[in-house]
Amino acid sequence: MRRADRLFELIQILRRARTTLTAAQLAERLEVTPRTVYRDMAALIAMRVPVEGAAGVGYIMRPGYDLPPLMFDHEEIEAIVVGLELLRRTSDKGLQAAAKRVTAKIADVLPDPREADMADGRFVVSRFGAPDPGAADMGMLRAAVRGDRQLAIDYRDEKGDASHRTVLPLAVIYYTEVTVLAAWCELRQGFRHFRADRIITCQETGETFSDRAEDLRRVWNEQLIMPHDAVP
């Protein structure tokens, strides 16, 4: 989590708190160390956020503090609602959970009339979409793409033939009917696309490919290798 996002989350937690929260409690909520919380609280106090407390005692926010409301017009809110609802069709449970958190954060800081626009059920997205990825951990796949981490996968192709691959994950592609991992395959020495629902096992090897990632993604984008049926 970026520091700016963490500071925003800290403010939100403290605004909702009814009692003093210790650094340890805040650290657990944010999945960071208490030392990080101490630094962040010092930064908020320096920014004149009305936080009271100290290390070893706990923190609480004085009543009345609020963040400036997000000013979205009706069409912008509708775009957010539909976009977040569309994540239901990816079968990526991690992104679906993140979408709920985003919706709650936006609704929490919108002016009351606009907040109702996000929850009145006027814009609904069908649940039809990509099949459940099964054994594939979509959070791991996204983290591997984000961190340029090599993966070892066992994969079953459309004919039912199984193979073991070492791949360099470049992108996750969300089609309406299928989710695909685009990667450089070390076995085939070329770009390949792996359907998430056909991945049998997946684990990180502990190796990274940051030195090759930029060039691989550039070439992959130039070749526009994106059809979902281009699986090995």
39 and 32 Cβ atoms separated by less than 8 Å: no
Residue type, 40: D
What pTM, to 2 d.p., does this model score? 0.59
Taking a C-beta distance cutoff of 8 angstroms, is the pair 79, 68 a contact? no
**What angle do helix axes 93-109 and 74-86 make, rounded to 10 degrees?**
160
- Helix, strand, coil fractions of the chain, as percent rounded to 5: 45, 25, 35
From 76, 87, 61, 60, select the one nearest 110 (Cα to Cα). Answer: 76
pLDDT, mean of residues 77-103: 84
Provide mean pLDDT across the span 161-172: 95
Query: What's the chain's average pLDDT?
Result: 83
- Give pLDDT, residue 2: 75
Q: What is the predicted pLDDT for the residue at 48?
A: 83
> In the prediction, which pLDDT does 112 show?
61
